[in-house]
Amino acid sequence: MAAVIPVHLYGRPADLAQITAIAADAGVPVIEDAAQAHGAELVDPAGSVRRAGGYAPLGCFSFFPGKNLGAFGDAGAITTDDPDLAARLRMLRDHGRSSKYEHRMTGYAHRLDTIHAAVLRVKLTTLDRANGRRRELAAAYSRALDGVGDLVLPPETPGRRSVYHLYVVRTRHRDALLAHLSAAGIGAGVHYPVPLHLQPAYAHLGGRPGDLPVTEAWARECLSLPLYPELTGEQLDEVVAAVRGYFG
Ligand SMILES: Cc1ncc(COP(=O)(O)O)c(C=O)c1O
C-alpha cells in the first residue's frame, strides 16, 4: 500500500490543496507529517482555516522535546476524523487490544506516557503564544537580512501560515558562514545535511550523488539560524550583526 506523506517542513505548511488533488486523481491516500508544524495554518481562498495535521484524513505529530510542542521525552500523536481509522489506531498503539484481554491484531507498545500527557496538556495552553513569538522573530530576521549577501530567506506564502519550527536560510557560503557564526558563539544548525537517497540505510535502493540535484543543493546550502520563543531581540540583533559581518 502506498501513501503520499507531505512534510510541513520547518513549520511551513505544504501545499496540501494541490497535493491532495493530485493524490486523489491517482487514488493514493495522503498522510500529513506535521511533526514540525503544531499550530501551523492553511487558509483556503474563501478564508476557511485548517490547521496542519487536520487537512488530510491522517496527521502525525512529534512531541520530541525540541518541537514547538514538546513533552519531557519521546512522544507523539496521530489525528484523524475517521472513526474507523481512529479505532484501528487505538488498537495498534496498545498491542492490538480491543478490550483488556482481547487482541484483534498485532500491535505496538506506543501508548503516550501519562507524565508526557500531563506536560503536554499544560504546554498546549501556551502553544499559540509561543508560535506567535516565533513568527515575530522570523519577521524580524526577514526584515534585517533582506538583500544581505546571497541569502535566500524563507518565503511567507499567502494561505500558508508557518510556525517557524526552524528559520532556514540558504546560501552558497553555508559552511563558511556556519563556521563564522560558531566562532562568534552562535549556535546555528543544518537541517538537513544528508538527503534520504544518500543515507546509508537506503544504499540498497542505489541512490547516487547527482540523482536529485535540487535536494542535494538544499543539503549543501541550508542553514538554520537560532530561533526559539525565548530568544530576545538583543540576541537576534547579535545574530543579524554576525551574519552581516560575514558578508561584509
Ligand atoms: C518532519 C519530521 N517527521 C518525523 C519526525 C519523527 O518524530 P519522532 O522522532 O517523534 O517519531 C521528526 C522528528 O524529528 C520530524 O522532524
Q: Which of 31, 38, 60, 64 to mutate to test the pocket of ligand 1 (most atoms within 8 A of CB)?
A: 64
Is the confidence at residue 152, as pLDDT, over 90? yes
Task: Identify the residues whose C-beta falls under 6 Å from ligand 1.
Answer: 7, 33, 35-36, 62, 64, 74, 76
pLDDT tens digit string along 24-52? 999 999 999 999 999 999 998 888 999 99
Closest residue by Cα to atom 10, ligand 1, is 62
pLDDT at residue 126 is higher than 90 = yes
* pLDDT higher than threshold 90 for residue 196: yes
Query: How many A from CA of 1 to the centre of ligand 1?
Result: 22
Q: Average of pLDDT values for 80-94?
A: 97
Mean pLDDT of 42-67: 95
The domains of the chain are located at 9-124, 127-247
Name the residue with the closest Cα to ligand 1, atom 3.
Answer: 35
Superfamily of 127-247 according to CATH: Aspartate Aminotransferase, domain 1 (3.90.1150.10)
For atom 7 of ligand 1, which residue has the closest CA?
62
Fold of 9-124: Aspartate Aminotransferase; domain 2 (3.40.640)
pLDDT tens-digit series, residues 177-195: 999 999 999 999 999 999 9
What is the rounded (10 degree) CA torsion for 188, 70, 11, 47?
Answer: -150
Residue 243 has pLDDT above 90, yes or no: yes
pLDDT at 45: 84
The closest residue, in CA terms, to atom 8 on ligand 1 is: 62
The pLDDT of residue 237 is 98
Question: pTM of this prediction?
Answer: 0.95
Calculate the average pLDDT of the chain.
97
| Residue 49: predicted pLDDT | 95
Q: What is the mean pLDDT of residues 158-166?
A: 96
Q: What is the mean pLDDT of the segment spanning 4-19? A: 97
Q: How many CA atoms does the CB half-sphere of 148 hold within 13 Å? A: 20
Task: Provide mean pLDDT across the span 117-142.
Answer: 98
If one residue of 9, 12, 36 were mutated to test the ligand 1 pocket, choosing by the most ligand atoms within 8 A of its CB, it would be 36
Q: How far apart are CA 36 and CA 8, in angstroms?
A: 7
With a pLDDT cut of 70, the percent of the chain lying above it is 100
Residue 1 has pLDDT above 90, yes or no: no
Sheet holding 58-62, edge to edge: 31-33, 58-62, 76-79
Which protein residue's CA is at the shortest distance from atom 12 of ligand 1? Answer: 35
CA of 8 to the centre of ligand 1 (A): 11
